């Protein structure tokens, strides 16, 4: 906007601005200006005091730069300091005189609209009402302001409201520099409505884009916004009111003749009358759809009704809705979250998303920084539906329930004739995997190792655009290895044996989840071995107090000090400790939290991440713990097998049942460990891809093409390829992608999402969970009571013996923490996801898929985990 005279003008008429002038007039005014240009939309007339005026006044505020520096250094949790300093800044802004020429310009504008008329004076910040952040309610609005002196005073108060406590905390939490946000002020002719309220052009609760909701009450909208009244609520779909509730409205906010507002009582005869007729509700929603179409996204709209005429006083994007995956048709679709299956529901950057799409075995769609698969055809065909729902129920009962909820409506997913959709493997009974020879596990691991070694050797020889061509071929090898029928048979052999044992032993012996004990310390599990191997590293460190003290210093200073391995040999015992850590990283350093996103820093890149876990292992365990733990698990599994077989032989047809069970026990122990290996293969390949791509990015930085290496994380693989070819990058695209990623991080991805935008959570429909307990999926048997440690970042772990880990999700990288805990609770997961498999191998009682566990369970509370029955009790 440098060349735009509006950038320097202190005032501009609302009808002259649009969304392109946010830096001049702020988000609210830009939206109001755009609204006033939409055919058929009425907006109260007015003008905007621009950010140029704000900058002039701020330049006169005493010591403002020093105060903003102090403010930026505060923690968002330091509420008292923020309250004190922000109040000082507000007072100083309000006490700073408005320059005479600016005051004259404002009073001159008022003369055109009516000097003694009533006005609404409203804050309009430059970071407000954007597609990714609404900043709703953070700055101030003043209604029924009468007279030039009052308007000038309230303009100053709006400027000062940029520094309300809530606005300052929001910026600190979101990493927004206080200096980058500026304040314009909207001055509009006051509207005195018969009724007012809010229109959401999408259902703000379910996310359904085809459903609009209207809240309405009498008088000014402040009564509704402040919670003074319960509004009438209407739901509109396809131009028809499909639900409506008329509330008893006892109070309203009305304008005073001399300025300001007050609460008034509504005449008892009017209290139960609707604020709008149904015809007016439908007409309002039609206006809302027009506004939504103009801005290109669902809107939160404030409206007023005056003499049966709607006026729009604000429209902002609804920023809490989860985006919908793009499809090429207008048909109904059902999308399932990939992150819930991969135990990583965090937002991913564009390079990570596109790499997973290019290497996945099934087509995937992106939305909100997450990946989804389209399950519509599987659900539409009766031939595939039953097997698919059975598989979904084993993996994630909440997802199955959400899908059944959708199917029960019978109007969203059309039923195709049998054979109309692709089949899906069933999950019961025998299959080709039941005949698989255990020797294939060794063969598959050897094949994988040879393929990865060839990748590492060959990828080192290519650079520039040729690297991307090489990688596209490498992705095909990647998928060939994963899709090898023998690989799938080996995976399914262990999973099917687990299901068989659980089902049959429950039927025959009344045993719940018997396979949990039978799989303790199963051989060949690369993920559980990774956790035990870190215990061995702790054994090397424990005898050297100087090394322990050094590592404690690293942990206290944060994981940013990732060059500590270079310094470690300078302390006694440090060289031996470094060698042990580096040997561990050689084997497992490609792993990290959120490892399916190639842009996440690996342990080899940030070894400091492992230091807190190593220190916990030094503190909590005696030497030789890894070997003892594994042997103890083996012994428990043998004893359980003997006990089960003895009890079976005492039953009718007992010898046959025992023989079948013995074969399945052998099979589960031979194959269940391999369940973790394909992910190890994938992540090993990912690290090779990443090292080559980062080396290419560094070359582009040296060539002046990229500003910094990590800019490529905000490009797709295909876009990165084009940058390597053309030596040109769109810096604005990178900036927009960074901003979008930040906004996606605040969203919670749904398990099930429809093409209408509706998110369906699913529910546990069980009567065996005690009142007040939190239901989940039982994945590892046993009951344990202990202190809950709610940990969202593995690097922040600080465990004591007997602690129970409560977290959102655990991919394999969390396994080193598992050796030091007594139980596990997660918000995401199923019977065969990584956290569940490792919990069983380590003998940890575990309940997964507990909705909102990290919010409902407070860190430090005592809880009891019922790993066999699938619920968690919060104890007094």
DSSP string, 335-396: EEEHHHHHT--S---HHHHHHHHHH-SS--EEETTEEEEE-HHHHH-HHHHHHHHHHHHHH-
Its sign, for the CA torsion 764, 767, 771, 773, is: negative
Contact 40, 63 (CB under 8 A): no
Tell me the three state secondary structure of residue 825.
strand
Structure confidence at residue 7 (pLDDT)? 53
Q: How would you label 514-548 residue by residue, b for 16+ Cβ within 10 Å and e otherwise? A: bbbbbbbbbebbbbbbbbbbbbbbbbbbbebeebb
With 60 as the cut, is the pLDDT of residue 420 above it? no
Strand segments, DSSP code E, in 159-239 are 183-189, 195-200, 211-218, 232-237
Q: Which residues are known to be catalytic?
A: 834
How many Cβ atoms are within 10 Å of 20's Cβ, its own excluded?
Answer: 12
The CA distance from 752 to 335, in Å, is: 6
Pairing mode, strands 774-775 and 871-874: antiparallel
Pairing mode, strands 783-790 and 804-807: parallel
The rounded percent of the chain whose pLDDT value lies above 90 is 74
Q: What is the mean pLDDT of residues 93-101?
A: 94
The CA distance from 724 to 494, in Å, is: 44
Of residues 774, 805, 791, the one with CA closest to residue 874? 774
Kindly list the distances between the CA atom of residue 15 and the CA atoms of 7, 18, 46, 842, in Å, as whole numbers in the listed order. Answer: 16, 8, 8, 67
Q: What angle do CA 549, 592, 371 make, to 5 degrees?
A: 155
Structure confidence at residue 424 (pLDDT)? 41
DSSP string computed for 835-857: HHHHHHHHT--EEE--TTHHHHS
Give 223's pLDDT tier (boundaries 50, 70, 90).
low
Kindly list the distances between the CA atom of residue 865 and the CA atoms of 363, 774, 787, 868, in Å, as whole numbers in the listed order. Answer: 37, 10, 11, 9
Sheet holding 777-780, edge to edge: 774-775, 871-874, 862-866, 783-790, 804-807, 823-826, 846-848, 777-780
Reduced 3-state DSSP string for 775-812:
ECEEEECCEEEEEEEECCCHHHCCCCCCCEEEECCCCH
Q: What interhelical angle do 625-649 and 654-671 show, nearest 10?
A: 160
Its sign, for the CA torsion 159, 165, 166, 168, is: positive
How many Cβ atoms are within 10 Å of 562's Cβ, its own excluded?
Answer: 18
Contact 231, 247 (CB under 8 A): yes
Tell me the three state secondary structure of residue 401.
helix
Of residues 338, 27, 37, the one with CA closest to residue 183? 27
Q: Average pLDDT of the chain?
A: 90
Q: Which contacts (CB < 8 Å, 24+ apart) does range 649-655 have?
A: 651/508
Phi, psi angles (nearest 5°) of residue 185:
-135, 130
Tell me the three state secondary structure of residue 264.
strand
Structure confidence at residue 138 (pLDDT)? 55
With 80 as the cut, is the pLDDT of residue 625 above it? yes
DSSP string computed for 343-355: T--S---HHHHHH
Structure confidence at residue 4 (pLDDT)? 44
Of residues 576, 583, 601, the one with CA closest to residue 591? 601
Give 561's pLDDT tier (boundaries 50, 70, 90).
low
Kindly list the distances between the CA atom of residue 98 and the CA atoms of 10, 121, 432, 457, 713, in Å, as whole numbers in the listed order. Answer: 12, 16, 82, 69, 46
| Span 495-519, pLDDT tens digits | 999 999 999 999 999 998 899 999 9
Tell me the three state secondary structure of residue 412.
coil
Q: Which residues pair with 309 in a beta bridge?
A: 306
Phi, psi angles (nearest 5°) of residue 512:
-90, 130
How many Cβ atoms are within 10 Å of 506's Cβ, its own excluded?
Answer: 13
The CA distance from 755 to 231, in Å, is: 30
- Minimum mean pLDDT among 217-226, 353-362, 701-710: which range? 217-226
Structure confidence at residue 1 (pLDDT)? 31
| Span 450-501, pLDDT tens digits | 999 999 999 999 999 999 999 999 999 999 999 999 999 999 999 999 999 9
With 90 as the cut, is the pLDDT of residue 697 above it? yes
Tell me the three state secondary structure of residue 239.
coil
Q: What is the mean pLDDT of residues 231-240?
A: 94
- Minimum mean pLDDT among 299-303, 378-382, 412-416, 788-792: which range? 412-416
With 90 as the cut, is the pLDDT of residue 804 above it? yes
Structure confidence at residue 152 (pLDDT)? 95
Reduced 3-state DSSP string for 566-616:
HHHHHCCCHHHHHHHHHHHHHHHCCCCCCCCCCCCCCCCCCHHHHHHHHHH
Contact 402, 751 (CB under 8 A): yes
Q: What is the mean pLDDT of residues 406-413?
A: 89
Structure confidence at residue 6 (pLDDT)? 44
Structure confidence at residue 427 (pLDDT)? 35
Give 421's pLDDT tier (boundaries 50, 70, 90).
very low
Q: What pTM does this model have?
A: 0.87
Contact 129, 31 (CB under 8 A): yes
Of residues 363, 307, 312, 295, the one with CA closest to residue 134? 295
């Amino acid at each position: 906007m440098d060349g735009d005279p509006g950038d320097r003008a202190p005032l501009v008429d609302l009808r002259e601005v649009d969304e392109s002038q946010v830096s001049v007039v702020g988000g609210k005014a830009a939206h109001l200006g755009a609204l006033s240009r939409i055919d058929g939309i009425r907006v109260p007339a007015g003008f905007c005091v621009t950010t140029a005026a704000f900058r002039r006044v701020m330049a006169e505020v005493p010591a403002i730069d020093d105060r903003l520096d102090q403010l930026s250094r505060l923690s968002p949790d330091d509420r008292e300091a923020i309250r004190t300093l922000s109040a000082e800044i507000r007072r100083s802004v309000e006490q700073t005189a408005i320059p005479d020429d600016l005051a004259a310009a404002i009073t001159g504008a008022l003369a055109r609209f009516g000097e003694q008329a009533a006005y609404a004076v409203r804050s309009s910040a430059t970071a407000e009402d954007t597609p990714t952040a609404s900043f709703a309610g953070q700055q101030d609005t003043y209604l029924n302001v009468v007279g030039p002196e009052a308007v000038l005073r309230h303009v100053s108060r709006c400027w000062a409201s940029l520094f309300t406590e809530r606005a300052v905390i929001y910026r600190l939490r979101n990493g927004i520099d206080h200096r980058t946000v500026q304040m314009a002020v909207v001055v509009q002719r006051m509207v005195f409505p018969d009724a007012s309220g809010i229109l959401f052009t999408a259902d703000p609760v379910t996310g359904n884009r085809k459903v609009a909701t209207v809240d309405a009450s009498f008088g000014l909208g402040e009564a509704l916004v402040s919670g003074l009244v319960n509004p009438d609520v209407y739901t509109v779909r396809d131009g028809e009111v499909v639900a409506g509730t008329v509330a008893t409205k006892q109070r309203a906010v009305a304008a005073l003749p001399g300025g300001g507002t007050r609460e008034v009582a509504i005449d008892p005869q009017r209290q139960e009358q609707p604020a709008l007729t149904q015809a007016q509700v439908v007409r309002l929603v039609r206006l809302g759809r027009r506004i939504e179409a103009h801005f290109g996204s669902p809107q939160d709209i404030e409206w007023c009704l005056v003499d049966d005429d709607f006026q729009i006083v604000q429209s902002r994007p609804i920023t809490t809705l989860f985006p919908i995956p793009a499809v090429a048709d207008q048909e109904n679709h059902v999308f399932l979250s990939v992150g819930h299956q991969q135990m990583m529901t965090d937002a991913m950057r564009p390079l990570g998303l596109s790499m997973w799409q290019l290497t996945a075995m099934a087509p995937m769609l992106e939305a909100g920084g997450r990946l989804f698969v389209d399950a519509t055809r599987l659900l539409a065909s009766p031939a595939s539906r039953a097997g698919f729902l059975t598989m979904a129920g084993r993996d994630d009962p909440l997802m199955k329930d959400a899908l059944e909820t959708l199917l029960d409506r019978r109007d969203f997913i059309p039923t195709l004739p049998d054979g109309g959709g692709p089949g899906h493997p069933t999950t019961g009974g025998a299959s080709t995997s039941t005949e698989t020879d255990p020797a294939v596990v060794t063969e598959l691991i050897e094949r994988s190792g040879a393929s990865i070694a060839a990748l590492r050797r060959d990828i080192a020889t290519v650079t520039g655009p040729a690297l991307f061509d090489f990688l596209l071929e490498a992705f095909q090898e990647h998928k060939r290895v994963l899709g090898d029928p023998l690989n799938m048979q080996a995976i399914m052999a262990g999973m099917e044996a687990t299901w068989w044992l659980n089902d049959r032993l429950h039927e025959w012996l009344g045993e719940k989840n018997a396979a949990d004990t039978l799989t303790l310390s199963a051989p060949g599990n690369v993920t559980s071995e990774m956790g035990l191997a870190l215990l061995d590293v702790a054994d090397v460190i424990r005898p050297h107090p100087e090394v322990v003290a050094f590592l404690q210093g690293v942990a206290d200073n944060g994981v940013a000090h990732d060059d500590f391995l270079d310094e470690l040999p300078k302390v006694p015992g440090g060289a031996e400790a470094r060698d042990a850590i580096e040997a561990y990283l050689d084997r497992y350093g490609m792993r990290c939290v959120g490892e399916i996103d190639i842009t996440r820093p690996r342990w080899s890149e940030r070894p400091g991440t492992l230091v807190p876990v190593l220190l916990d292992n030094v503190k909590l365990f005696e030497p030789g713990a890894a070997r003892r733990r594994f042997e103890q698990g083996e012994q428990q599994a043998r004893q359980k097998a003997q006990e089960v077989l003895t009890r079976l032989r005492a039953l009718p047809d007992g010898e046959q049942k025992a023989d079948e069970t013995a074969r399945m026990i052998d099979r589960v122990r031979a194959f269940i460990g391999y369940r973790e290996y394909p992910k190890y293969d994938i992540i090993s390949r990912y690290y090779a891809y990443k090292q080559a791509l980062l080396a290419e990015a560094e070359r582009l930085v040296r060539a002046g093409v990229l500003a910094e290496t990590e800019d490529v994380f905000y490009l797709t693989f295909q876009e990165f390829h084009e940058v390597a070819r053309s030596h040109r990058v769109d810096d604005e695209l990178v900036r927009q992608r960074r901003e979008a990623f930040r906004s996606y991080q605040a969203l919670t991805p749904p398990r099930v999402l429809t093409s209408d935008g509706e998110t369906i959570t699913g529910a546990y429909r069980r009567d065996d969970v005690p009142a007040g307990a939190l239901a989940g999926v039982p994945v590892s048997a046993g009951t344990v009571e202990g202190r809950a440690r709610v940990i969202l970042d593995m690097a922040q772990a600080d465990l004591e013996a007997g602690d129970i880990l409560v977290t959102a999700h655990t991919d394999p990288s969390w396994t080193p923490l598992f050796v030091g805990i007594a139980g596990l609770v997660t918000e995401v997961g199923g019977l065969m996801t990584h956290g569940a498999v490792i919990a069983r191998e380590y003998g940890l009682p575990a309940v997964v898929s507990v909705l909102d566990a990290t919010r409902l369970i407070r860190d430090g509370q005592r809880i009891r985990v019922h790993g066999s029955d699938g619920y968690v009790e919060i104890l007094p």
